[in-house]
Amino acid sequence: MDVPESTSSARIYQLKISLREISPMIWRRLLVSDDTPLVELHEVIQLAMGWEGYHLWRFTANGREYGHAYGEDLTSEAHETILSDLNLRPRQRFLYDYDFGDYWQHEIRVEKTLEPGPRKSYPTCIGGKRACPLEDCGGPWTYQELLHLAGSPFGDYERRQAREILGRSFDPEAFDRRRVNALLKELARR
């Protein structure tokens, strides 16, 4: 992925990506160049959120789909379409769906557009809250139920099972921005 230099004419989108149907909210705030192809934005979101890339995905913006949609492979359009092609404005939203079985839907909100900073590399994560759910845990409702059961003082069997599924070291409140940025830098070098 090309990292825009400060002399680039590309603008920078500040995006807030929130996982829908989860409370309290799981979110990331990213700075991404507007010349980023959607297929690369998919990779950026995967790394920033903490997904492992096992499943199909799609973006929906301005009534169009990019990625995988209802049995169709629209990834060629996702390779060819860059963020600026979507004509996004501040406060505008679009969607990123991941894992059509568990159905994780992310709302992406354009918070603002910026000029590239001197000696800055993009993409970069500037904020976030809470850990990404585990892959294949059953979707938003099941994930929240697992968290509830794992912390419940009642029902030893259910609590043990939930903790086993989540893993002993899983902390739903954890978020490591430095780690995310290290992964994003590695992606930019590819």
Q: How many domains does the chain have?
A: 2
Give pLDDT, residue 18: 98
Are 80 and 153 part of one and the same domain? no
Give a yes or no: residue 6 inside a domain: no
pLDDT in tens, 99-155: 999 999 999 999 999 999 887 889 999 999 999 999 999 999 999 999 998 887 767
Give a yes or no: residue 5 inside a domain: no
Q: For the chain, which residues score pLDDT lower than 70?
A: 1-9, 69-75, 154
Between CA 49 and CA 27 the distance in angstroms is 8
122: Cα separation from own chain's centroid: 15
Are 103 and 164 part of one and the same domain? no
Which structural domain, as residue segments, surrounds residue 140? 133-172
Are 18 and 107 part of one and the same domain? yes
Give the contacts of 185 (CB within 8 A, at least 6 positions apart). Answer: 121
> At residue 18, what is the residue type?
S
Give a yes or no: residue 19 inside a domain: yes
Helix axis angle, 38-49 to 177-189, nearest 10° = 150
- CATH value at residue 122: 3.10.290.30
Are 76 and 156 part of one and the same domain? no
Helix axis angle, 140-151 to 156-166, nearest 10° = 120
Tally the C-alpha atoms within 13 A of residue 154's C-alpha that lie toward its C-beta. 1
